[in-house]
Amino acid sequence: MTRVILASASSGRRKVLRQAGIDPLIVVSGVDEDAVAAGLDKAATPAEVTVALAAAKADAVVTGLDPAIATDCVVIGCDSMLFRDGALLGKPATAAAALAGWQQMAGTSGRLYTGHCAIRLQDNEIVSRSVESEATTVHFGTPSAVDLAAYVASGEPTAVAGGFTLDGLGGWFIEGVEGDPSSVIGIGLPLVRRLFERAGLTLADLWRANPVT
């Protein structure tokens, strides 16, 4: 019975998996994302950066797993960043930065990159490791000054990559997406299914082993 482990504290990612029939075990990696990003080649692409961060999270969780769990499990690490105006953006550092970001991106579009890493363990040994990134184009609306101020004051923008959500308060200001919506939330279901398949796993088995109660 393969246990699915999500190496993330993201409520959005957990919600996506639960709505898709899998209740993951949450193990937060504690990885210093800024340190990982700083160690990458300056020429790294957005896809390479997000994959490196996702892999670092998954690897960190794998090294600290309880041996009883590591007998049969798959660890999923993810990381999302928004590429806009030639810059790769993570979570806004402050409310002021979130406000300025929204004022700049209102009425425009950006590419949301989400890196994924899936590591399967059997008998406390890694038997499969796959990484992949997905990019989705997000079209932003133009919130009124009053609504934008209220949105920033909610605290949501400073907790998420790019300063917006699709499945939360920010959804009011997203005009549309081109690509996989679940990837925008933080974990792309079709992509993760492919990673599972590479590891020899089926959704049928994972649904049985990780039921949502």
92-144 residue pLDDT tens:
999 999 999 999 999 999 999 999 999 999 999 999 999 999 999 999 999 99
Of 146, 212, 205, 196, give the one whose Cα is nearest residue 173: 146
pLDDT of residue 150: 98
Give me the residue spans of the domains in the chain. Answer: 3-209
pLDDT of residue 82: 96
- Mention every residue, 6+ apart, whose C-beta is less than 8 A from residue 81: 46, 49, 50, 88, 89, 90, 112, 113, 161, 162
Q: What is the CATH number of domain 3-209?
A: 3.90.950.10
Active site residues: 79
The CA distance from 183 to 136, in Å, is 7
What is the band of 37 on the pLDDT scale with cuts at 50, 70, 90?
A: confident
